[in-house]
Amino acid sequence: MKNNGVKKTLIILVLLGIFVFSLTVFVRLGRTQKEEQAMKEKDDIWTESPFANEYWNNKKPGIYVDVITGGPLFSSTDKFDSGTGWPSFANPINKDTVVRQTDTSHGMARTEVRAKKSDSHLGHVLEDGPLPTGLRYCINSAALKFIPAEELEKAGYGQYAYLFKSTDKKQETGLAAFGAGCFWGVQAAFGELEGVVSTRVGFMGGSMKNPTYEDVSSHKTYLSHSLNYPT
């Protein structure tokens, strides 16, 4: 009787082991290679190779989400070419989507960036980025999934479409030039007009190179004050 009980226990343990193994295999088959890598990064601070990753040179408009949870992390509007070979961003899309913590691995003191929701390793943040933030979020492509701007609504990220409204159509500009008396006063007036992108004052007409205000005021140069502005 005792032997029968031991056999039954062994059979149950074997069946349970097979079930757990099958479940593990099923879950793993359901993940993409990038998701597997991101899961690995949860427990191991890992950096992919520069210039040999998916998004380092991606210039398309859109947002970058957590490959595990789909949570929005970064926007192409904050992406810049750092020359390092990794995707670099001046800011996260929302400061509450990432967390920072001290990383002392590999004999260095760095600031690690992790996704708040999935707790996966994203990369590091350094203080050598562009103004005004001065920050560079150096991120692994393997931790990200890119959603093109034109697919945001379809993918369920329509609330971020406003970031790319100005890029839907290129702004057309032209150049206009006007003769004016006191061009600083005229420049200020034109600068307040709707549609004026920028203004620049100077002199036009005549043949003198690099004239000064005093030269033109002498009325001997055949130059006149002018105002140029793109519209």
**Catalytic residue ranges:** 138
Residues 6 or more apart from 69 whose CB is under 8 A from it?
115, 117, 118
Q: How many residues does the chain have?
A: 231
Tokens of 197: 């992108």
Q: Please say whether the beta carbons of 201 and 225 come within 8 A.
A: yes
Helix ranges (H only) for 95-192 are 152-155, 183-191
Tokens of 53: 């990753």
**Starting from the edge strand earliest in sequence, which strands make up the sheet with 200-204, in order?**
175-179, 224-230, 200-204
Tokens of 63: 């947002």
**Strand, coil or helix: what is 121?**
strand
Q: Please say whether the beta carbons of 187 and 199 come within 8 A.
A: yes
Q: How distant, in Å, are the alpha carbons of 68, 152, 172, 210 from that of 121?
A: 11, 25, 42, 57
